[in-house]
Amino acid sequence: MNRFSQGIIKHKKIILTIFIIVAIISALLATTVSVNYNMVDYLPKDAPSTIAVRIIEEEFVGDMPGARIMINDVSIMDALEYKESLSNIPGVTSVSWLDDIVGLNTLQSVPIEYLDKDIVENYYKENTALFTLSIESGKEQSTVSNIYDLIGNDNAASGESINLAETQNMSVSEVFNAMLILLPIVILVLIISTSSWVEPLLFLGSIGIAIVINMGTNIIFGEISYISNTVSPILQLAVSLDYAIFLLHSFNNHRQNEEPSKAMVLAMKESVPTVAASAATTVIGFAALMFMRFGIGSDLGVNLLKGVLLSFISIMIFMPAFTLLLYKAIDKTRHRKLMPDFKSSGKLIVRVRIPFLILALIIVIPTFLAQSKTEFMYGMGSMTAASRVGKDMEAIDEKFGKENPLVLLVPKENVGKEKMLSDELALLPHVKNIVSYVTYVGAEVPDEFVPKEAYDQFYSENYSRIILYTDTGEEDLAAFETIEAIVNITEKYYDTHYLTGTSATLYDMKSIVSTDTRRVNLIAIIGIFLVLLVTFKSISLPFILVFCIETAIWINLSIPYFADKHINFIGYLIISTVQLGATVDYAILFTNSYLNNRKTLGNKESMRETISTNLVAIFTSAIILASAGFALALTSNNPIISELGLLLGRGTLLSLAMVAFVLPALLVLFDKLIRKTTIKVK
Q: Are residues 578 and 601 in the same domain?
A: yes
Is 133 contained in some domain? Answer: yes
- Indicate the burial class of 185 (C-beta count within 10 angstroms; 0-12, 13-18, 19 or more): middle
Q: Give residue 449's pLDDT.
A: 64
Asked whether the predicted pLDDT for residue 189 surpasses 70, the reply is yes
CATH of the domain at 177: 1.20.1640.10
Please state, in angstroms and as integers, the Cα–Cα distance from residue 147 to each residue in 70, 130, 387, following that order: 11, 14, 16
* Domain end among 169, 184, 205: 169
Least confident of 43-47, 76-80, 111-115: 111-115
Q: Are residues 327 and 437 in the same domain?
A: no
Q: Give residue 264's pLDDT.
A: 85
* Domain end among 117, 148, 169: 169
Q: Are residues 159 and 214 in the same domain?
A: no
Q: Give residue 99's pLDDT.
A: 82
Asked whether the predicted pLDDT for residue 5 surpasses 90, the reply is no
Which backbone phi and psi does 535 adopt, to 5 degrees? -60, -45
Asked whether the predicted pLDDT for residue 213 surpasses 90, the reply is yes
* Domain end among 123, 140, 169: 169
Is 37 contained in some domain? Answer: no
**Whole-prediction pTM:** 0.79
Q: Give residue 385's pLDDT.
A: 57
- Amino acid identity, position 158: S
Is 312 contained in some domain? Answer: yes
The 3-state secondary structure of 493-510 reads CCCCCEEECHHHHHHHHH
Is 135 contained in some domain? Answer: yes
Q: Are residues 497 and 638 in the same domain?
A: no
User: How many structural domains compose the chain?
Assistant: 4
Q: Are residues 647 and 588 in the same domain?
A: yes
Q: Are residues 641 and 588 in the same domain?
A: yes
Q: Are residues 139 and 283 in the same domain?
A: no
Residues 45-66 have a mean pLDDT of 80
The predicted-structure confidence for 592-605, as pLDDT tens digits, reads as follows 888 888 888 888 88
Asked whether the predicted pLDDT for residue 384 surpasses 70, the reply is no
Q: Are residues 544 and 680 in the same domain?
A: yes
Q: Are residues 223 and 366 in the same domain?
A: no
Closest CA to 148 of 70, 208, 59: 70
For β-strands 128-135 and 92-96, DSSP reports them as antiparallel
Determine the structural domain holding residue 86 and report its residue range: 63-169
Please state, in angstroms and as integers, the Cα–Cα distance from residue 461 to each residue in 64, 440, 467, 581, following that order: 18, 19, 18, 51
Segment (H or E) for 634: helix 603-635
Angstrom distance (rounded) from CA 214 to CA 33? 12
Q: Are residues 309 and 401 in the same domain?
A: no
Q: Are residues 424 and 560 in the same domain?
A: no
pLDDT band at 340 (very low <50, low <70, confident <90, very high): low
Is 669 contained in some domain? Answer: yes
Residues 264-291 have a mean pLDDT of 82
Angstrom distance (rounded) from CA 75 to CA 20? 63
72-86, 257-271, 275-289, 509-523: range with highest mean pLDDT: 72-86
Angstrom distance (rounded) from CA 294 to CA 46? 11
Is 631 contained in some domain? Answer: yes
Q: Are residues 610 and 558 in the same domain?
A: yes
CATH of the domain at 440: 3.30.70
Please state, in angstroms and as integers, the Cα–Cα distance from residue 62 to each residue in 20, 470, 508, following that order: 49, 20, 23
CATH of the domain at 136: 3.30.70.240
Asked whether the predicted pLDDT for residue 381 surpasses 70, the reply is no
Asked whether the predicted pLDDT for residue 623 surpasses 60, the reply is yes
Is 42 contained in some domain? Answer: no
* 18-21 long-range contacts, CB within 8 A, separation 24+: 19/209, 19/314, 19/317, 19/318, 20/209
Q: Give residue 555's pLDDT.
A: 93
Is 38 contained in some domain? Answer: no
